[in-house]
Amino acid sequence: MSASATALSLKHIVKRYGSYVAVDGIDLDVGQGEFLTLLGPSGCGKTTTLRMIGGMERPDAGTIEIKGRRVDRLPSHKRDTATVFQSGALFPHMTVAENVAYGLKMRGVPNGEIGPRVTRMLDVVRMGDFAGRYPADMSGGQRQRVALARAMVVEPGILLFDEPMSALDLKLKLELRAEIRRLHEEMGFTAVFVTHDQGEAMTLSDRVAVLNKGRIEQIAPPVEVFERPASEFVYTFVGESCVLELGGRPLGEGARLGPVPAGRQRLYLRPHHLHVVEAEGQDNSIRATVTAVEYMGGGYRIHAETPAGNLFFDTSRAPVIGPDHILAIGWSSADATYFPAS
Q: Which residues are near other proteins by CB under 8 A? A: 54-56, 75-77, 81-83, 85, 87, 89, 91-94, 102-103, 106-107, 134-137, 150-151, 154
Of 56 and 293, nearer to other proteins (C-beta) is 56
Q: Which is nearer to other proteins, 12 or 105 (CB)?
A: 105
Closest distance of CB 71 from other proteins, Å: 13
Beta-ladder partners of 304: 290, 311
β-strand partners of 210: 39, 218
Q: How far is the CB of 162 from other proteins (least distance, A)?
A: 9
CB of 155 to other proteins, least distance (A): 12
Smallest distance, Å, CB 182 to other proteins?
Answer: 23
Q: What DSSP state is assigned to residue 256?
A: B
Chain centroid to Cα 270, Å, comes to 19
Pick between residue 1 and residue 106 the one whose CB is nearest to other proteins.
106
What residues pair up with 302 in beta bridges, in sequence order? 293, 313
CB of 95 to other proteins, least distance (A): 9
By beta-carbon proximity to other proteins, the closer residue of 138 and 269 is 138
Closest distance between other proteins and the C-beta of residue 184, in Å? Answer: 20
Residue 325 and residue 105: Cα distance in Å, rounded?
69
- The 10 Å Cβ neighbour count of residue 245 is 16
Buried b (16+ CB within 10 A) or exposed e, 169-205: eeebbeebbebbeebbeeeebbbbbbbbbbebbbebb
Q: Nearer Cβ to other proteins, position 103 or 330?
A: 103
Residues 225, 218 contacting (CB under 8 angstroms): yes
Q: How far is the CB of 69 from other proteins (least distance, A)?
A: 16
Nearer Cβ to other proteins (158/216): 158
CB of 96 to other proteins, least distance (A): 12
At closest approach, how far in Å is the CB of 86 from other proteins? Answer: 8
Is the CB of residue 161 less than 8 Å from the CB of residue 193?
Answer: yes
User: What's the CA gap between 142 and 82, in Å, rounded?
Assistant: 19
What burial class does residue 311 get, using C-beta atoms within 10 Å of its C-beta: 0-12 exposed, 13-18 middle, 19+ buried? Answer: buried
Smallest CA-to-CA distance from 307 within 283, 332, 286 is with 286
Between 89 and 174, CB nearer to other proteins: 89
> Closer to other proteins at the Cβ: 87 or 241?
87
Looking at beta carbons only, is 103 or 222 nearer to other proteins? 103
Residues 6+ apart with CB under 8 A from 323: 290, 291, 292, 293
- Which of the 8 DSSP states describes residue 164? T
Those residues whose C-beta lies under 8 Å from the C-beta of residue 81, and which sit 6 or more positions away, are 53, 54, 55, 66, 156, 157, 158, 159, 160
